[in-house]
Amino acid sequence: MAKSILICDDAAFMRMMIKDILTKNGYNIAGEAENGAKAVEKYDETKPDLVLMDITMPEMDGIQALKKIKEKDPNASVVMCSAMGQQAMVIESIQSGARDFIVKPFQPDRVIEAVKKAVE
């Protein structure tokens, strides 16, 4: 059974890029969200095996969304995505329960490695 993944990023082209990497590697896309608030909503609706969450998003950032998802589901698997130079936020997200983080621009191998580690 293919694992389902929720993709959360405010940039549509980033979501498209991640979706492309994941589908080529046999993963199902549970849904997409363009901000943290939508990510929490979609998580409740889709109950994905994994969430790929951008840190910097409008309305509610990825770290707040991570905390909300973890409150509702302590077993949730979340991998954070961040641009270079966000080390403090990466540390905070790991302390808040993220399984791993991926740095943008994405290397397909690194994305798949982080996904595999988080869902298997």
Q: Which pair of tokens denotes residue 6?
A: 């929720």
pLDDT at position 88 is 83
Q: What is the DSSP letter of 96?
A: T
pLDDT of residue 22: 97
Q: One-letter amino acid identity for 96?
A: S
Residues 2-26: pLDDT tens digits? 899 999 999 999 999 999 999 999 9
Over range 31-59, report the average pLDDT: 96
Backbone angles phi and psi of 54, in degrees to 5: -70, 145
Residue 58, token pair as written in the block: 């409008």
pLDDT (tens digit, 9 = 90+) per residue, 52-103? Answer: 999 999 999 999 999 999 999 999 999 999 886 667 888 899 999 999 999 8
Residue 65 Ramachandran class (φ > 0 left, ψ -120 to 50 alpha, else beta): alpha
